[in-house]
Structure formats: structure tokens, C-alpha cells
Amino acid sequence: MTFELKPFRIGNLQVDFPIALAPLAGYSDMPFRRLCRQMGCEYATSEMMLDSCIAIQSKQQMSLIAFGDDEHPLAGQLVGNTPEMMATAAKMVADQGFDVVDLNFACPVNKAIKRKRGGRLMNDPKLAIEIIHAVVDAVDVPVTVKNRQRYNNDDTEENFWQMAEGARDAGCAMLTVHGRSVEQKYTGPADWDFLRRVKAHFPDWTVLGSGDVLSPHHAIELLKTSELDGVVVARGVIGNPWFFRQCRAILAGDEPQVPTLAEQAEVMRQHFDAQLEFYGERIGCKNMRKCGIKYARNHPHARKLRMTFVDMKTRKDFDRILGEWYTDRYEAELRKKVLREGISGMTCHMPNVRP
């Protein structure tokens, strides 16, 4: 059965395909975003960027602010805790040509929490709203907010509603909610009933949902049943940029395909080339080791292959691994595995992936 997609709006931008690439520190860089776009993604967000580093144009963080001409519409995400610094950084992000500035009030990593950034602001909605106002005043592009359901598991939802309503009243164009508490980090199921309530509360505001969008079938199911304007895919796409193409196939009434090993190898080579060009040899190889481990999920010998990628150090090692593992010899096994486990068997749960 086919299902009609509804575009969503971010201010005066229209996004036709409502399955977006999440901000993913360590993954949603320019090389990966471009691959996802090639596979049918239409809206993506950068990795989070620290406001102070962007404001002083720290060399280390400037790679985060780069993007390609083919990447629009694209959001640049900022994390920080002072209205002035966030406004300065937002202006740089907008001047750089990002179409949207996204503000991160969701990050649960200890370093951010200790420094009162990211998800820690779920405990201080007043400061979050001051930041939002400062950023909205500083830029001409749409400003959006990413937050979570609550800070601690046993907190009420009061801070969430205060922050969300404050963001809407300040003129934010969209809210993305990760349906977990900050304390939960990435464990336990995301609360989609809560996300449905958020959308019901803001019928005229664009609201995207995040959490456990781990397989293309589940993404479509959530789109059909949640009433949210879109869903955001995070761990589900790491090592599987084909996710977007698979979603589009389901929507067209076709069977989504796990790519052949030959295609997987071709895309991985393309990813490596882009990493080398973007970061140079040392960081490019390090990043591709991490990504190779994730790409192994679409291989019939995922566990053994992951261990092989762990030892990868150079492009030569990488080409050797592809030459040994991505051959016709394993294609029949891959097809059998897909028949046995379905596409979700290849693409779901990655509890070991953490920022």
C-alpha cells in the first residue's frame, strides 16, 4: 500500500521528504551527509559545533562548519550556554551559508552537562529561552531547537513545555524532540506517545520526532501513525546511508533492498575518498576505521568483519579488506541472511553506538 508524503516547513523553506538525517557528532560530517543526500535524504543537520570555538574560528572546529554546494537545505547545529556567544556563533553559521541554525538543548555527554551545555539546559529553560531570543534576533535564517523530554527520569514535563512554548513564542521555526530524558542518554525505548502529545499541543508548528528510528519500515510506520511532521534518523543510518533509499522504496510500494556487496564497497570507497580529501590522511583513516566497523552491519559476517576493521590503519589496509570481504563469494550468503532476517535484521539496534 502506498502512502502520501507530506512536506514539512521550516520558516519559508519547504522539505519534501520528511525523513531527515540527525545531527550526529563524529558522523554527520560533509562526506557522510553528501552520501546520504545521494541516497535520497533532503534535509540534514551538521554535527554539533561549540559556540565559542565557532566564534573564535578555532581551526579544529572549522571543519565542522564546512559544507558542499550540493547540500542545501542544511542546518548548522550549535551548543553553548551564553546568549551572547551563541548569537555570535549563530551569525557566523548563517553568514557561512547554512539555511537554518539549530540549537542543541539535548546532548547528554558528561563534558557538556558539566559545563552546563546541551541537555543540561533542560534544567534551565529560562536560560535556554534567553539564548533562543538572542539567536533569533541575531540571524535572518530560521532558528530551530532540539531538546529532550526531560532532564532526569523522574522530573515532571514542566521544563519541557516551558522551553518548547518559549521557543515557539520567540519565533523558532521548528522543534525536534528526542523522546528520552537526558539521564537516559540512549538507553530504554524512546517515548513516541509523548512525541505525539507534543505535536497535538502544537498543531500549527513544525515538530519532528527522534528516537529509535532504527529501520526504514519503522521510520515509515512512525510517519504514518505519529502525526508528527517528520522523523529524524540517527543510529539507524550510521553505516547504512542506503536507509533513505530504502524508505523511498517502501513509500513507492517496492521491496527495500540491502545493497549488493559490490555496491557497498563502491560507496565505502567513495566515502573514504571524501574523508581523505576533507581531513587528510591521518584523521581520514581514523574516521574510516570507525565507519568501516559500522558498515559491517550489512555484511553476512558482520562480527568477524568488524574485528577486521578494528585493525585497519591505512587506505591500503582498507582496500585489502574490501578485496577479501566484499566479493561475489559472500553475495549468496548475504541474500540468504536478508531472506532469513529481513532488512531489519541488517539495519536495526546498534546499542554500542554512542557519541
Ligand X SMILES: Cc1cc2nc3c(=O)[nH]c(=O)nc-3n(C[C@H](O)[C@H](O)[C@H](O)COP(=O)(O)O)c2cc1C
353 touches ligand X (CB under 6 A): yes
| Site map 58..77 versus ligand X, x via CB under 6 A | -------------------x
Interface region with ligand X, contact rule CB under 6 A, candidates 208-216, 242-250, 297-305, 340-348? 208-216
Using the minimum distance from each CB to ligand X, give the nearer residue, 159 or 347.
Answer: 347
From residue 44, how far is each of 31, 249, 302, 310, 312 by CA, in Å? 12, 20, 28, 28, 29
Single out the residue of 21, 66, 65, 63 nearest to residue 45, CA to CA: 21
Q: Which of 37, 91, 117, 235 binds ligand X (CB under 6 A)?
A: 235
Near ligand X in 80-109, by CB under 6 A: 104, 106-107
Query: Nearer to ligand X by C-beta: 265 or 298?
Result: 298
Question: Given 36, 107, 172, 291, which residue is catalytic?
Answer: 107
With CB under 6 A as the rule, give the number of residues binding ligand X.
27
Quickly list DSSP for 232-244: EESTTTTT-TTHH
CA pseudo-torsion sign 3, 255, 234, 19: negative
> Does 78 sit near ligand X (CB under 6 A)?
no
Q: Which stretch binds ligand X (CB under 6 A): 160-168, 230-238, 293-301, 320-328?
A: 230-238
Tell me if 348 contacts ligand X by CB under 6 A. no
Question: Residue 175's closest CA among 209, 124, 132, 225?
Answer: 209
CA dist 101 and 74 (Å) reads 9
Residue 172 bears catalytic tag = no
Cis, bond preceding 83 (omega within 30 deg of 0): no
- Identity of the residue, 182 or 334, whose beta carbon is nearer to ligand X in the bound complex: 182
Nearest Cα neighbor of 182 from 101, 128, 225, 240 is 128
Residue 24 engages ligand X in binding (rule: CB under 6 A): yes
Q: How far is CA 34 from the centre of its chain?
A: 13
Query: Among all residues, which ones are annotated catalytic?
Result: 107
Question: In the complex, which residues of this chain contact ligand X (CB under 6 A)?
Answer: 22-27, 47-48, 77, 104, 106-107, 146, 178, 186, 190, 210-214, 234-236, 353-355
